[in-house]
Amino acid sequence: MTSIRVIPCLDIQDGRVVKGIQFRGLRDAGDPVELARFYDAEGADELVFLDITASSDSRAPVIDLAERVAEQVFIPFTVGGGIRDLATIRDVLKAGADKVSLNSAAIANPEFVRQAAEAFGSQCIVGAIDARRSSTGWSVFSHGGRHDTAMDAVDWAKELQAQGAGEILLTSMDADGAQTGYDLELTQKVSNAVSIPVIASGGAGNPAHLIEAVQVGRADAVLVASIVHDGNYRIRDLKKAIVDAGLEIRTLPNS
């Protein structure tokens, strides 16, 4: 059985953590380094930092943020947003990140994923997919959810795996921030289509949603944001619920 990871996601804009609903109505959620330190102490398995306007602004990711986070936390973390070349990946990893998340640049040039995987190892490369339900399935969006590529999300997940991505970060734009549960159908279809780990993202509102993402959606990890940023649940509460459901977790919840 896969050991489930619980991963807080910190969306970054102008150096602050923000959160919205369906990628809109962003509100301030705190300082990224302080939150990273807090979630590390709380027992998070990993962290994800996404600079949500870097690609749309044609701006490089915030390297100094990775450096400051690396000084404060001892768990693996991923940085995404605005990563368009191998030199930037190298800089982000040198700054202390363990993985990079590729989205818009991978869509523009799928070969970039293969080049990155060959240069740094598949374990460092996360293929991020922002998907919105369409009349035929789910459409992939780029540039922080601003551009509809008309690509099918399930097909794109398979292509990311073929190009060498080590895992998929799958975000339902429809469920994002709504706290009504993950898109289980989307998560299941992508999980069934690939053999690499899938991180379910978008929609967590209570511990039952995380359990459903694993048991029904077949996710290997669950991303959480609003429910922990707002203090509705602590990481240990979420992990205890997962264990009580008979699932294995990466690390035991802190007491």
Indicate which residue of 45, 130, 183, 220 is catalytic: 130
In degrees to the nearest 10, what's the CA dihedral of 49, 67, 74, 97?
50
5-13 and 221-224 beta bridge pairing: parallel
Indicate which residue of 11, 40, 51, 183 is catalytic: 11
In whole angstroms, give the CA distance from residue 162 to residue 175: 27
Cβ-contact 39, 235 below 8 angstroms: yes
Place of tokens 């705190």: 30
Helix orientation angle between 32-42 and 235-244, rounded to the nearest 10 degrees: 40
Place of tokens 């053999």: 195
Residue 202: half-sphere exposure toward Cβ, Cα within 13 Å: 25
In whole angstroms, give the CA distance from residue 232 to residue 19: 14
Instruction: For residue 124, give the DSSP letter.
Output: G
130 given a catalytic annotation: yes
| Number of residues that this document lists for the chain | 255
183 given a catalytic annotation: no
Distance of CA 204 to the CA centre of its chain: 13
Residue 196: half-sphere exposure toward Cβ, Cα within 13 Å: 22
Identify the H or E element spanning 226.
Answer: helix 226-229
Catalytically annotated residues: 11, 130
